[in-house]
Chains A and B, each alone.
Chain A
C-alpha cells in the first residue's frame, strides 16, 4: 500500500500573541491508499481545521503535508487549485451544489477546471451519476432534488475526477436517517472499490462504518484506532 497522506507535526494557530488560538498542535498521521478513515471530535477539537488543511483550503502554520508524495503545503495558489481539481474530491455538509445549475453541470464542473476534453467529460459525468444512482436526475437542478439526492450529486461531483482522496465534512449532518444510510452505503461501496475516504463526523454510527477512527481533542490526536481493534473492544 502506498501512502496517500503524510502529515508531519501540522500546527495551525489563529491570531497572535496572548489571544492566539492553537487549533492544531502538531498533528502527525499517515493515511494509506484505500483506507476509510473517520475523524471524530467535539466542536473546537480542530477536526474542521484539519479537514481544511487536508483539502488545501487552508494553510498550516507549520509542519509538512505530503499528498501522494508531493509536498503540497508550500505550493502557490495556482498549483494548489490544480491539486484540488485533480487529486481531491470534496463532499460538504451543506451539499454546496451550484444553484440553478443542473446536476450534470455540477458534476462536470471539476472536470472543466481540470481541463478534461468535452467528450471524455460527458462519459465521466454519466458514469459518476450512474455510480450514485442518479442517472435519471442528470437534468434536474438542485432545488428539484431532495437533500439525499443533492448529497449524492455532490458525491458524484467529488468522484468524477477520480481523485486520490475523497474528503467528506459531516456529509450526513443535514440528512434524515434514510438518506444518511444511502450515503453511507455509497461510501461503503466506494471504499470497497478501493477509494481513499476521510470523513469528519461526530456521530458514532457514521464513524462505525470506517475502518479507522481518529479522535481529536484540543488540536491533538488522542486516539487512532483501526476497526479490528474497535471490534475487539466490544
Chain B
C-alpha cells in the first residue's frame, strides 16, 4: 500500500467526523498559538529591556554618595574636588572620562511661559556622551564653556515641547530660577522605558554655571565615569574605587561612603527577569499544548474503538500491522499538524495586536518548534491508540459490535 493511499485513508478518517476532528484540532491550535504568542510577548519585553541597556551605554559607571557609616568623622560628600582628584589620578588608566554632576530642579521661563524642569544638570563636556545623549540640533557643552562658566544650556525634548511649544529653541534665552541661560542645543529624544522617569525632561548646563547660579558649591549628586570600553568597565570600577578610597580616606575594612553602580548591570538583572518571565509564559503555554495532545490521544482512542470492526475487515483483507499503525498515526499527526498550522496562523494574526503594551515578536524558532512539537504530539499521543489498533487480532476486531 503506497504512502499516498495510507495518507488518503487517514485524511478520510479525519474528515469523517468533522466536528470531533475540529474540536481536537482546536485544542492543539490553542496550545500552539499560545506558545508562539506568549513567548513572543516575553521576547518583546526582553528586547525592550535590552534596548534600554544599549540606550544607557554599557561603559558608564555612576558614583553616588551613600552617606557616612560608623562613628568616625569623614569626608562623606562627593565634591568637585574629588571628581578632579579622580580625573587627575594616574592610577585610573581604564577610566576615559570623569564628569562631576550636580542636579537640581528649577523653573524655566521663556517668553512668559513657565515650566518646572525635572532635572537641571550641571556637568562637564563629557556628560552628554557618558549619559548617552546625542545632540539633535545646535551644539553640546564645550570644555571652554565649562572653564568659563558660560551660561549656556542644552535642553531635552520634553522641555522643548513644554516650554517652547515646538518653536526652535536654539539661540533663545531662558531663565532658570532667575539666571539667564542661552540655549545652544537640543537633545535627541531618548526612550523613557528604563523605569527612571522621563529621560527627556532635563536641561544640561556647565557645572560651573549651575553651581554659581543654582546649587552652590556643595556636594555633587553624582560623578559619572566612562570606561575606555565596554570590556574595561569592571577594571575601571576597581581603579576608581581604589582612588576614591584614598581621596575619601577610607581605610580597608570600612564601608565606603559612596557606591559605584553600573546601570547596565541593573538592567541585566531586569533582562534576566524578563527571560524568566518568557520561560514561565512558555511553560504555561506548553501545558496547554500538552492538554491539546491528550485531547488527540482521547479522540484517537475513541476513533480506534469506533472503527474496531473496520480494522478487523482491513486485517481480514490482508492489511499488515504496519498499514493500520501508519493509518492511525497519520490520522493523529494530521489532526495535530492541522492544529499546529492554524495555531501559527492565529498567532501571526494576533501578533499584529499589542498585548500588554508589547508588540509581540514572533520568533521564527518558536514557529518551527511549535510545528515540530505538534507533529511530535501527533506521533506520541497518537502512538498508543494506533498501536492498540494495529495489535488487534482480526478475529476479535471482526466480532466487535
Binding site for B on A (CB under 8 A): 52, 55, 57-58, 77-78, 81-86, 90, 92, 96-101, 109-110, 112-115, 118, 157, 161
- Which of B241-249, B286-294, B313-321 interfaces with chain A? B313-321
Cβ 8 A contact of B5, one of A81, A110, A112: A112
Q: Given contacts A96-B313, A115-B1, is CB(A101)–CB(B318) below 8 Å?
A: no
A113→B318 contact, CB < 8 A: yes
- Give 24 A-B contacts (CB < 8 Å), ordered by A residue: A52-B395, A55-B316, A57-B315, A57-B316, A57-B394, A57-B395, A58-B393, A58-B395, A77-B320, A78-B320, A81-B319, A82-B318, A84-B317, A85-B318, A86-B318, A96-B312, A96-B313, A100-B12, A100-B16, A110-B317, A110-B318, A112-B1, A113-B319, A113-B320
Number of interface residues of B (CB under 8 A): 22
A59 to chain B, nearest CB (A): 9
Q: Is the CB of B317 within 8 A of A85?
A: yes
- Beta-carbon contacts of B286-329 to A below 8 Å, as 1s and 0s? 00000000000000000000000110111111111101000000
Contact of A82 among B16, B313, B320 (CB under 8 A): B320
Q: Which 7 A-B pairs have the closest CB atoms?
A: A85-B318, A84-B318, A113-B318, A110-B317, A57-B395, A58-B395, A81-B320
> Is the CB–CB distance between B1 and A96 below 8 Å?
no
A55–B313 CA distance with the chains assembled, in angstroms: 12
Having A86-B318, A101-B12, one finds 16 other A-B pairs with CB under 8 Å, namely: A55-B316, A57-B393, A57-B394, A78-B320, A78-B321, A81-B318, A81-B319, A81-B320, A82-B318, A83-B318, A90-B317, A96-B398, A110-B318, A113-B318, A115-B1, A118-B2
- Do B314 and A109 touch (CB < 8 A)? yes
Inside 8 A of B16's CB, which chain A residues have their CB?
100
Chain B, Cβ-Cβ closest to A96: B313
Give the chain B neighbours of A92 by CB distance below 8 A. 313, 398
Residue positions of B touching A, CB distance < 8 A? 1-2, 5, 12, 16, 309-310, 312-321, 323, 393-395, 398
In the assembled complex, the CB of B237 is this many whole angstroms from the nearest CB of chain A, namely 73
User: Shortest beta-carbon distance, A76 to chain B, in Å?
Assistant: 10
* A98 x B1 contact (CB < 8 A): no
A81: chain B residues at CB < 8 Å are 315, 318-321
* Option from B309, B318, B398 in Cβ contact (under 8 Å) with A114: B318
Q: Specify which chain A residues have a CB less than 8 angstroms from the CB of B319 in the assembled complex.
A: 81, 85, 113
Q: Are A98 and B314 in contact (CB under 8 A)?
A: yes
CA A171 to CA B313, docked complex, whole Å: 15
Write the nearest CB–CB distance from A203 to chain B, whole angstroms: 22
Nearest-neighbour CB distance to chain A for B305, whole angstroms, equals 15
Contact B318 A77 (CB under 8 A): no
Chain B positions within 8 Å of A97 at CB level: 313
CA distance in complex: A188, B314 (Å)? 27
Q: Report chain B residues within 8 Å CB of A52.
A: 395
* Contact with A90, one of B5, B309, B316 (Cβ below 8 angstroms): B316
Q: Which residues of B contact A96 (CB under 8 A)?
A: 309, 312-313, 316, 398
Residues of A within 8 A of B12 (CB): 100-101
Inter-chain contacts of B2 with A (CB < 8 A): 112, 118
CB distance from B303 to the nearest CB of A (A): 13
Q: Which residue of B lies closest to A55 (CB)?
A: B316
- C-alpha gap A57/B323 in the complex (Å): 17
List of A residues within 8 angstroms of B320 by Cβ: 77-78, 81-82, 113
Asked whether B310 lies within 8 Å of A98 as measured between CB atoms, the reply is yes
